[in-house]
Amino acid sequence: MINETVRRLFLAFAIAISPMVSTASESNQMMEPEHPYVFHLIQAELWQATLAEEDGIYYPPTYDVDGFTHGTANPAKLLVVANHFYPEVQGDWLCLRMTVESLQESGVKTIFEGTAPVGDKPANFEGSDSELYPHILGGISPSAVLAAHKVVRTQDGKFIQIEGVTDSP
Protein backbone atom coordinates (compact mmCIF):
# COMPACT_ATOMS: atom_id res chain seq x y z
CA MET A 1 0.00 0.00 0.00
CA ILE A 2 2.74 2.49 0.92
CA ASN A 3 4.74 1.51 -2.17
CA GLU A 4 1.68 2.15 -4.38
CA THR A 5 1.12 5.55 -2.74
CA VAL A 6 4.78 6.48 -3.21
CA ARG A 7 4.64 5.34 -6.84
CA ARG A 8 1.52 7.45 -7.51
CA LEU A 9 3.05 10.49 -5.84
CA PHE A 10 6.24 10.03 -7.85
CA LEU A 11 4.28 9.76 -11.12
CA ALA A 12 2.21 12.84 -10.28
CA PHE A 13 5.40 14.75 -9.44
CA ALA A 14 7.14 13.58 -12.63
CA ILE A 15 4.16 14.62 -14.76
CA ALA A 16 3.97 17.99 -13.00
CA ILE A 17 7.64 18.84 -13.57
CA SER A 18 8.00 17.38 -17.08
CA PRO A 19 7.12 20.72 -18.78
CA MET A 20 9.81 22.42 -16.65
CA VAL A 21 12.40 19.79 -17.57
CA SER A 22 11.74 20.13 -21.29
CA THR A 23 11.76 23.93 -21.04
CA ALA A 24 15.08 23.88 -19.21
CA SER A 25 16.63 21.57 -21.75
CA GLU A 26 15.29 23.67 -24.64
CA SER A 27 16.74 26.86 -23.13
CA ASN A 28 20.12 25.14 -22.67
CA GLN A 29 20.12 24.27 -26.36
CA MET A 30 19.32 27.88 -27.21
CA MET A 31 22.28 29.04 -25.13
CA GLU A 32 24.78 26.90 -27.05
CA PRO A 33 26.26 29.04 -29.80
CA GLU A 34 25.55 28.01 -33.38
CA HIS A 35 28.96 29.21 -34.57
CA PRO A 36 32.24 27.91 -33.09
CA TYR A 37 34.17 31.19 -32.93
CA VAL A 38 33.89 34.57 -31.29
CA PHE A 39 35.21 37.38 -33.49
CA HIS A 40 36.19 40.89 -32.44
CA LEU A 41 36.96 43.71 -34.88
CA ILE A 42 39.85 45.87 -33.72
CA GLN A 43 42.00 48.68 -35.02
CA ALA A 44 45.37 47.12 -35.87
CA GLU A 45 47.32 49.79 -34.00
CA LEU A 46 45.40 49.08 -30.77
CA TRP A 47 46.12 45.35 -31.02
CA GLN A 48 49.79 45.98 -31.77
CA ALA A 49 49.99 48.24 -28.71
CA THR A 50 48.42 45.49 -26.59
CA LEU A 51 50.94 42.94 -27.88
CA ALA A 52 53.81 45.31 -27.11
CA GLU A 53 52.82 45.54 -23.43
CA GLU A 54 54.00 42.93 -20.98
CA ASP A 55 50.84 41.10 -19.86
CA GLY A 56 48.80 43.43 -22.09
CA ILE A 57 45.03 43.12 -22.05
CA TYR A 58 42.96 44.89 -24.71
CA TYR A 59 39.87 46.88 -23.78
CA PRO A 60 38.00 48.60 -26.61
CA PRO A 61 37.62 52.39 -26.53
CA THR A 62 33.90 52.03 -25.65
CA TYR A 63 34.41 49.52 -22.81
CA ASP A 64 33.73 52.01 -20.01
CA VAL A 65 30.45 53.05 -21.64
CA ASP A 66 29.33 49.60 -22.80
CA GLY A 67 30.56 47.52 -19.85
CA PHE A 68 31.78 44.67 -22.06
CA THR A 69 33.72 43.90 -25.23
CA HIS A 70 31.51 43.37 -28.28
CA GLY A 71 31.85 40.25 -30.38
CA THR A 72 30.24 38.58 -33.36
CA ALA A 73 29.85 34.81 -33.72
CA ASN A 74 28.31 34.61 -37.18
CA PRO A 75 31.01 35.33 -39.80
CA ALA A 76 28.29 36.41 -42.25
CA LYS A 77 27.45 39.35 -39.94
CA LEU A 78 31.01 40.65 -39.51
CA LEU A 79 31.08 43.00 -42.50
CA VAL A 80 27.55 44.25 -41.75
CA VAL A 81 28.62 45.04 -38.18
CA ALA A 82 31.88 46.67 -39.31
CA ASN A 83 30.18 48.86 -41.90
CA HIS A 84 27.47 49.89 -39.43
CA PHE A 85 29.61 50.75 -36.42
CA TYR A 86 33.05 51.68 -37.77
CA PRO A 87 32.91 53.21 -41.29
CA GLU A 88 34.31 56.54 -40.12
CA VAL A 89 37.18 55.03 -38.11
CA GLN A 90 40.21 55.20 -40.38
CA GLY A 91 43.25 52.94 -40.41
CA ASP A 92 44.01 49.27 -40.69
CA TRP A 93 41.79 46.76 -38.93
CA LEU A 94 42.11 43.17 -37.75
CA CYS A 95 39.54 40.57 -36.82
CA LEU A 96 40.50 38.52 -33.77
CA ARG A 97 39.28 34.91 -33.73
CA MET A 98 38.66 33.26 -30.36
CA THR A 99 36.37 30.70 -28.77
CA VAL A 100 34.25 30.92 -25.65
CA GLU A 101 36.65 28.34 -24.19
CA SER A 102 39.82 30.27 -25.06
CA LEU A 103 38.33 33.39 -23.50
CA GLN A 104 37.29 31.43 -20.41
CA GLU A 105 40.80 29.97 -20.10
CA SER A 106 42.11 33.54 -20.01
CA GLY A 107 39.70 34.30 -17.16
CA VAL A 108 36.92 36.03 -19.12
CA LYS A 109 33.29 34.94 -19.32
CA THR A 110 31.29 35.36 -22.54
CA ILE A 111 27.51 35.59 -22.66
CA PHE A 112 25.21 35.67 -25.71
CA GLU A 113 22.64 38.46 -25.75
CA GLY A 114 20.73 40.64 -28.18
CA THR A 115 22.57 43.42 -29.97
CA ALA A 116 23.66 46.45 -28.01
CA PRO A 117 24.91 49.91 -28.95
CA VAL A 118 28.64 50.43 -29.39
CA GLY A 119 29.31 53.59 -27.42
CA ASP A 120 26.65 56.04 -28.58
CA LYS A 121 26.02 54.30 -31.93
CA PRO A 122 22.70 52.39 -31.85
CA ALA A 123 22.57 48.75 -32.92
CA ASN A 124 19.92 49.22 -35.58
CA PHE A 125 21.51 47.50 -38.56
CA GLU A 126 19.70 45.05 -40.83
CA GLY A 127 19.30 41.71 -39.05
CA SER A 128 20.38 43.12 -35.68
CA ASP A 129 17.47 41.49 -33.92
CA SER A 130 17.72 38.10 -35.63
CA GLU A 131 20.39 36.48 -33.47
CA LEU A 132 22.40 36.68 -30.28
CA TYR A 133 25.85 38.23 -30.11
CA PRO A 134 28.74 37.34 -27.80
CA HIS A 135 29.42 39.92 -25.12
CA ILE A 136 32.86 39.41 -23.60
CA LEU A 137 32.73 40.39 -19.93
CA GLY A 138 36.25 41.79 -19.75
CA GLY A 139 39.22 42.57 -21.92
CA ILE A 140 40.91 40.34 -24.47
CA SER A 141 44.18 38.68 -23.54
CA PRO A 142 46.50 37.73 -26.40
CA SER A 143 46.46 34.19 -24.96
CA ALA A 144 42.75 33.92 -25.85
CA VAL A 145 43.29 34.81 -29.52
CA LEU A 146 43.62 31.90 -31.93
CA ALA A 147 44.26 34.07 -35.00
CA ALA A 148 44.28 37.69 -36.14
CA HIS A 149 42.85 38.12 -39.63
CA LYS A 150 43.54 41.11 -41.86
CA VAL A 151 40.50 43.22 -42.72
CA VAL A 152 40.30 44.61 -46.26
CA ARG A 153 38.70 48.00 -46.92
CA THR A 154 38.08 50.11 -49.97
CA GLN A 155 39.71 53.53 -50.33
CA ASP A 156 36.54 55.18 -49.06
CA GLY A 157 36.61 53.01 -45.89
CA LYS A 158 34.02 50.33 -46.67
CA PHE A 159 34.82 46.96 -45.11
CA ILE A 160 34.73 44.34 -47.89
CA GLN A 161 36.60 41.23 -46.69
CA ILE A 162 38.17 39.54 -43.71
CA GLU A 163 40.94 37.32 -45.00
CA GLY A 164 40.41 33.69 -44.03
CA VAL A 165 36.96 34.40 -42.57
CA THR A 166 34.64 35.92 -45.17
CA ASP A 167 34.48 35.19 -48.87
CA SER A 168 36.43 37.31 -51.33
CA PRO A 169 34.72 40.51 -52.49
Residues 54 and 104 in one domain: yes
Average pLDDT over residues 132-146: 97
For the chain, strand residue ranges (E) read 38-43, 69-70, 93-98, 110-113, 133-136, 147-153, 159-162
Angle at the Cα of 106 from the Cα atoms of 105 and 108, rounded to 5 degrees = 95
106 and 144 both lie in a single domain: yes
What's the whole-model pTM score? Answer: 0.78
pLDDT-based confidence at residue 21 (cuts at 50, 70, 90): very low
> What confidence category does residue 14 fall into, taking pLDDT thresholds of 50, 70 and 90?
very low
Among 79-83, 104-108, 121-125, 130-134, the range scoring the smallest mean pLDDT is 121-125
- pLDDT category at 168 given cuts 50, 70, 90 is low
- Range of lowest pLDDT (4-8, 75-79, 157-161): 4-8
d(CA 58, CA 156): 27
- For position 13, what pLDDT does the model report? 44
Domain that holds residue 93: 35-162
Note whether 5 and 75 are same-domain residues. no
Indicate the number of domains in the chain.
Answer: 2
Which CATH number is 126's domain given? 3.20.170.20
